[in-house]
């Protein structure tokens, strides 16, 4: 992603009531933060937040946490949230590697990964959000029947992700498509920013859904 440095975005994030600051102290306490027992869904690498904010809007009986490592894109979601003040969403600026320090066992009901960074070099494979290393982290936070849903237009990354799901001892592939927008799974699909861009270009979108065995 090409990043524009948005001046002051770190300050905006620090001051927003919708961002969680000392996120590791919230482990096991997320339902207290939301003030209800509704299930919690997260998107890792949410960018400007179009997808997860639409989920929050249309699912008031569920809670959402958007995770993004770059302030300059996260701040765009905060601008929207300032206007809308959705009660069922919070944001964290963090590197997803530490996700298991932020959520407790079974605290998360579902994980969305959309157009994640491909890390094309082999030696960076473990940084991909669908690598077995990340799947092991998800095992520590995701309920047994919770799904990880991944969308991308990057075929090599998608093929890698299918392989990883097979290789990982504790995961099973529930379904997948190499062309979401011409498949049964398109029903109810919420477009992300990247998806809109890639669909306009004519790129087929891949999608897979996995869960723990």
**Residue ranges binding ligand SAH (CB under 6 A):** 1, 44-47, 67-70, 73, 95-96, 114-117, 192-195
Q: Could you tell me the smallest distance in angstroms from the CB atom of residue 156 to ligand SAH?
A: 16
Q: Which is nearer to ligand SAH, 31 or 181 (CB)?
A: 181
Q: Could you tell me the smallest distance in angstroms from the CB atom of residue 99 to ligand SAH?
A: 8
Parallel, antiparallel or unpaired: strands 89-93 and 142-152: unpaired
Q: Could you tell me the smallest distance in angstroms from the CB atom of residue 36 to ligand SAH?
A: 26
Question: Using CA atoms, how far apart are residues 49 and 19, in angstroms rounded to an integer?
Answer: 13
Q: Could you tell me the smallest distance in angstroms from the CB atom of residue 115 to ligand SAH?
A: 4
Question: Using CA atoms, how far apart are residues 69 and 91, in angstroms rounded to an integer?
Answer: 11
Ordered alpha helix ranges (H), 59-122: 71-84
- Look at residues 48, 65, 54 and name the one whose alpha carbon lies nearest to residue 1: 48
Residue of 61, 117, 153, 179 marked active site? 117
Q: Which is nearer to ligand SAH, 23 or 195 (CB)?
A: 195
- Look at residues 117, 187, 172, 111 and name the one whose alpha carbon lies nearest to residue 146: 111
Largest distance between two CA atoms of the chain: 45
Question: Using CA atoms, how far apart are residues 74 and 204, in angstroms rounded to an integer?
Answer: 27
| Residue 153 appears among annotated catalytic residues | no
Q: Which is nearer to ligand SAH, 175 or 196 (CB)?
A: 196
Q: Which is nearer to ligand SAH, 109 or 154 (CB)?
A: 154
Catalytic residues: 117
């Amino acid at each position: 992603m090409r990043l524009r440095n948005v001046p002051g975005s770190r300050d905006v994030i620090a001051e927003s009531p919708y961002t969680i600051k000392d996120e590791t102290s919230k482990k096991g306490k997320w339902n207290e933060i939301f003030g209800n027992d509704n299930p919690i869904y997260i998107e890792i690498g949410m960018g400007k937040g179009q997808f997860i904010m639409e989920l929050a809007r249309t699912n008031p009986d569920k809670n959402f946490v958007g995770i993004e490592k770059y302030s300059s894109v996260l701040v765009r979601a905060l601008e929207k949230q300032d206007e809308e003040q959705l009660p069922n969403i919070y944001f964290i600026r963090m590197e997803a590697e530490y996700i298991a320090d932020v959520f407790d066992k079974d605290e998360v009901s579902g994980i969305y990964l959309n157009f994640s960074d491909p890390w094309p070099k082999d030696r960076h494979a473990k940084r991909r959000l669908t690598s077995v290393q990340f799947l092991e982290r998800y095992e520590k936070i995701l309920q047994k029947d919770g799904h990880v849903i991944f969308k991308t237009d990057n075929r090599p990354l998608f093929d890698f992700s299918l392989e990883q799901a097979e290789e990982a001892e504790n995961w099973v592939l529930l379904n997948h498509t190499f062309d979401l927008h011409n498949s049964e799974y398109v029903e109810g699909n919420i477009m992300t920013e990247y998806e809109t861009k890639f669909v306009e270009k004519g790129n087929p979108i891949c999608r897979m859904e996995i869960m723990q065995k």
